[in-house]
Amino acid sequence: MSMTNKLYALLLASVIALGFTACSSDDPDGPTIFPVDEAQNLDQLDTWLLKNYTYPYNVEFQYKWKFIETDNKKTLVPADSAKSAKLAIIVKYLWFDAYNEVIGQSFLKENTPRQIVLIGSPGYENNGTMVLGTAEGGYKVTLYMVNNLTDDALRDYDYLEQYYFTTLHHEFTHILNQKKPYDSEFDKISAGDYVSVNWYQVPAATALKQGFIRNYAMVEPREDFAETMAQYITNSDETWESKLTQAGATGRAIILKKLNFIRDYMKDSWNLDLDALHNAVQHRGQELDKLDLEHLN
């Protein structure tokens, strides 16, 4: 199985898919695994990223073009630095600060991907799909389409959730699952209903009625686990309830059974309150309009 997975927007089917793989353990060693040459010329954004990502979390937030870090099979363009700065502020606020609020900095430093890489454009595949994000072995997450971010999009929580934050939370769930596997009893909840590579042919409404929060969750149990958790964390209460309503009595019961399983896993394995994390992300999402995106403080 490939160690690189992708978030697609299917142009013909108008379906967004989130694909990830189980991730290797990359525990930090020492103060930072990204030593900085103090002699290099660092601009204001570089210095801010070191202060807010590298030093506290051992994460390299990379927005400057590095050919070796990109997929050379695709035609890609660098990320705009001004838009990268704004997205970096939002990622810290909606993801890092939300986890920090609930469980603390050490948890993130030990478990987050070591690199977040920004690309300006989407990546296109030969089969008519557009790649929005990739995750590689738990070490690196790449986010695309940065140059498409408008001022309105940067204040639109639903847009950011769909194109960026479901990716981040889904991948992070895989990392946690590899370090501390969940009970295989989860795999039995929807046994027989997974459709592997044909997931995109299942309408979203059908997936919900079968007990899957999104059709991509029908790939296999581990994707079901990660997608259910990511959707619960990032969906507003109204959106989540709307999906459960669409699922009907049978689908609702299955989805909630999966969510309760995930809730217990996060508490027992990581001492993380999933509902508190959901609430932290949601209250931050509602306050996006108050976030200063113009200044690197």
Q: What is the pLDDT of residues 177-195, one digit of tens each?
A: 989 999 999 999 999 999 9
- The chain-wide mean pLDDT, for the chain, equals 84
Query: Is pLDDT of 250 > 90?
Result: yes
Q: Decide: 121 and 77 in contact? Cβ < 8 Å.
A: yes
- pLDDT per residue as tens digits for the range 119-136: 998 876 665 556 666 777
If we measure between CA atoms, which residue out of 7, 28, 58, 62 comes closest to residue 227?
A: 7
- pLDDT per residue as tens digits for the range 27-60: 444 455 445 554 467 899 999 999 999 999 999 9
CA pair distance 6, 223, nearest whole angstrom? 12
For residues 260 and 68, the model is more confident at 260
Query: Is pLDDT of 231 > 80?
Result: yes
pTM check: above 0.85? no
For residues 69 and 278, the model is more confident at 278
CA pair distance 85, 97, nearest whole angstrom? 16
pLDDT at 121: 84
Between the alpha carbon of residue 69 and those of residues 47, 82, 96, the distances in Å are 21, 20, 23
CA pair distance 214, 208, nearest whole angstrom? 7
Q: Decide: 164 and 144 in contact? Cβ < 8 Å.
A: no
Position 9 confidence tier, pLDDT thresholds 50, 70, 90: very low
195 half-sphere exposure, CB direction, 13 A CA radius: 15
Q: Decide: 237 and 275 in contact? Cβ < 8 Å.
A: no
